[in-house]
Amino acid sequence: MKDPKDFWAGLLFLGVGVAAVVIVLAGGYELGSARKMGPGYFPAWLGGGLAVTGVLLAVKGVATQGAPLGPWALKPLLLVTLGTVLFAAMVNWAGLAPAIVTLVLTASFASVQFNLRWAVPLALALAIASVLVFVKGLGITVPVLPHVLGY
Amino acid sequence: MDIISNLMIGFGTALSPANLAYCFVGVLLGTLIGVLPGIGPVSAIAMLLPATYGLPPVASLIMLAGIYYGAQYGGSTTAILINLPGESASVVTTLDGHQMARQGRAGVALATAAIASFFAGTVATLILALFAPPLATLALKFNSHEYFSLMVLGLVGSIVLASGSLLKGLGMVLLGLLLGCVGTDVETAKERFTFGIPELSDGFGFVILAMGIFGLGEVIKNLEVQRVQDVVAKRIAGLLPTRQDLRRILGPSIRGTALGSVLGVLPGGGAVLASFAAYSLESRVSRPPEGFGNGAIEGVAAPEAANNAGAQTSFIPMLTLGIPSNPVMALMIGAMLIQGIQPGPLVIQQQPGLFWGIIASMWIGNVMLLVLNLPLVGMWARLITAPYHLLYPAILVFSAIGVLTLANKEMDVYFMALFGVLGYVLIKLECEAAPLLLAFILGPMMEENFRRAMQLAQGDPTSFLRRPISVTLLAVAVLGLVVALAPAIRRKREEAFKE
């Protein structure tokens, strides 16, 4: 493999394309005919096309020279995603403010300069500002604090 | 003169105190966000979209348009001062703009960017006013065949104009079209790719996809290498260009405007390509004494004029055909739909106040940018030095709240996190996201028109070739692909994107 970016992009396209075709066929999406297309017609063609494109790209990645992939930012990837997921999980029962504090603290940890001395004030400031702007100002209906506290 | 009376209607709408205020707020917020590194116009608009839900339609679109070109302008400020483009359309501005700043001419460079942008904005607004009405009239004749062919042209354009390999562009378009299939099939009510998740029965929201891929993906990417910034923010003195400077920027501004206006209408990253093309044209046409890359004022004026003109004319297909030429326009369409306006050729007739009001507000917004930015440059310069580790948690919070407020469903936030991962993977694999987003927006429209056209033509695909407008559009698409594949031009295209 000489061009890993092309190769892996090709595999990604191939995988998604094949999966789409399999789901169309296994899920009983009717293909129909060109005159009267069923729900499966368009996605089946797209999936097939994507798979073919993926194969071509992967072959190109094996055959031609390219730049290396470079290191993955695994820690930021994990922490940014985790923070967002925690926000979603918390917002409707724990409330907006705790969800924001959790998101900010989790995500800040991805920075090489992480320090509780700036992360905690930042989390509190963003939580207060968001509550003021979005809940008080724009009137979004989201609990601010946990229901048990009666607010 | 029709156009004058129409523009009068427009200015009548746009100059109302409330709309002026929204325009001002939009331009200010846009510049603010554009100046902050790591947030481009797409994330800016997506983040601020919820704030416009409660406004009347005209006001909300005026404000969103203001955010767009404000962000565009703010991007050039960071390009000049810290050699970091605030968004991709100002990448080339770093070449000569930052050099000028290092030579102590930051003020002149910023003023040049403002003046060239203003000139381009004025001309492009006139072009929009001149060409949009006839195009809308033509579009009224469009049937399913023509719409399908037009969208094919749009997607081919986005592949050809995107940076990177054509094969990757094609893959991204197909992937985007597939993502657009998720949800309930309109004709048969069959649920496709929903995996029994009720939140998916309407498909993914565009904002969720855009925020995930552009917002979160970019944040993760930016945290990969945490770099030291080279700030030129001592004191910005000598803001005003000399008479000789002005003479030097006239030609590049005109050429940049012309090129940008044409490229802006084309689908797929109009403003980005416009700025690159204008810079490479300028480096062939003019002979600055210091040479390009060493702080030539021409190298700032041309791309800045081009990207502003391109940003402005990219409204033409959106307002007349209801078809977005880039992700920002797709968000604007989303905003119109939320306001209950169906974008398309009928808007201009049914809502002249809205249509001409937006156009007039663009010019007013450009005046505001000029007035706002020259005196505020010092303040923007201080903002730029805001450290990224304080900034990105805020971006994440606003993204999460923005997506949550769409429909108050946590599931949307989970999807955004998922698309964030996808966005980062795509960045690592050098797959440009713009074609994917465009295809995602066009997908459902494209499928619907394709099915209807084929049904009308009794399943005969050659019917697309027997209609004059449809065959012309397809021919242009094929021509575009052939040109991009031709070896000589292919090499030049690669050069252009490498610069």
Quick one: DSSP state of residue B294?
S
Which uninterrupted H or E stretch holds A100? helix A96-108
Quick one: DSSP state of residue A37?
B
Q: How far is CA A35 from CA B79, B126, B450, B453, in A?
A: 53, 44, 10, 9
Residues on chain B touching A20 (C-beta within 8 angstroms): 178, 193
Q: What is the pLDDT confidence band of residue B96, given thresholds at 50, 70 and 90?
A: confident
**What is d(CA B283, CA B286) in angstroms, rounded to the nearest whole number?**
6
**Per-residue pLDDT tens over the stretch B373-412:** 777 777 776 666 667 788 889 889 988 988 887 778 889 9
Q: Decide if A13 and B171 are in contact by the 8 Å CB cutoff.
A: yes
- DSSP letters spanning B59-90: HHHHHHHHHHHHHHHHHHHHHHHHS--SSGGG
Question: What values do phi and psi take at B292, rounded to 5?
Answer: -70, 145
Q: Decide if B454 and A20 are in contact by the 8 Å CB cutoff.
A: no
Q: Closest approach of chain B CAs to the CA of A37, in angstroms?
A: 6
Q: Decide if B417 and A81 are in contact by the 8 Å CB cutoff.
A: yes
Dihedral angle sign, alpha carbons of residues B271, B274, B279, B282? negative
- Lowest-pLDDT range, B98-112, B232-246, B345-359? B232-246
**Cβ of residue B221 closer than 8 Å to a chain A Cβ:** yes
Cα dihedral A103→A105→A108→A112 (10° resolution):
-150
* Cα A74 → chain centroid: 14
User: Residue range A105-133: average pLDDT?
Assistant: 90
**Cβ of residue B462 closer than 8 Å to a chain A Cβ:** no
Chain B: residue whose CA lies nearest to A59: B167
Q: Which of A18, A21, A37, A131 to mutate to test the interface with B (most CBs of B within 10 A)?
A: A37
Neighbouring residues of B305: CB distance < 8 A, sequence distance ≥ 6: B116, B117, B119, B120, B252, B253, B254, B255, B256, B257, B260, B278
Residue B499 pLDDT:
47
User: Residue range B419-442: average pLDDT?
Assistant: 88
Q: Decide if A12 and B429 are in contact by the 8 Å CB cutoff.
A: yes
- Among residues B404, B358, B44, the alpha carbon closest in space to that of A138 is found at B404
**What is d(CA B346, CA A36) in angstroms, rounded to the nearest whole number?**
29
Q: Decide if B414 and A92 are in contact by the 8 Å CB cutoff.
A: no
Which residue type is seen at B259? L
**Cβ of residue A72 closer than 8 Å to a chain B Cβ:** yes
Residue B188 pLDDT:
83
Which residue type is seen at A1? M
Q: What is the pLDDT confidence band of residue A7, given thresholds at 50, 70 and 90?
A: very high
**Cβ of residue B73 closer than 8 Å to a chain A Cβ:** no
Q: How far is CA B209 from CA B130, B216, B356, B410, B434, in A?
A: 34, 10, 31, 15, 11
Residues on chain A touching B177 (C-beta within 8 angstroms): 46
Question: What values do phi and psi take at B202, rounded to 5?
Answer: -100, 10
How many residue contacts between A and B have a Cβ separation below 8 Å? 190
Global pTM? 0.82
- DSSP letters spanning B108-155: HHHHHHHHHHHHHHHHHHHHHHHHHHHHHHHHTT--HHHHHHHHHHHH
- Between B449 and B49, the more confident residue is B449
**Cβ of residue B413 closer than 8 Å to a chain A Cβ:** yes
**Per-residue pLDDT tens over the stretch B101-144:** 888 788 888 888 888 988 998 999 888 888 888 888 888 888 88
- Is it the case that residue A122 has pLDDT exceeding 90? yes
Q: Decide if B393 and A50 are in contact by the 8 Å CB cutoff.
A: no
**Cβ of residue A141 closer than 8 Å to a chain B Cβ:** yes
**What is d(CA A54, CA A48) in angstroms, rounded to the nearest whole number?**
10
Q: How far is CA B456 from CA A45, B144, B461, in A?
A: 20, 9, 11
Residue B372 pLDDT:
78
Q: Do residues B263 and B310 touch, judged by C-beta distance below 8 A?
A: yes
CA–CA–CA angle A92, B192, B150 (5° rounding): 105
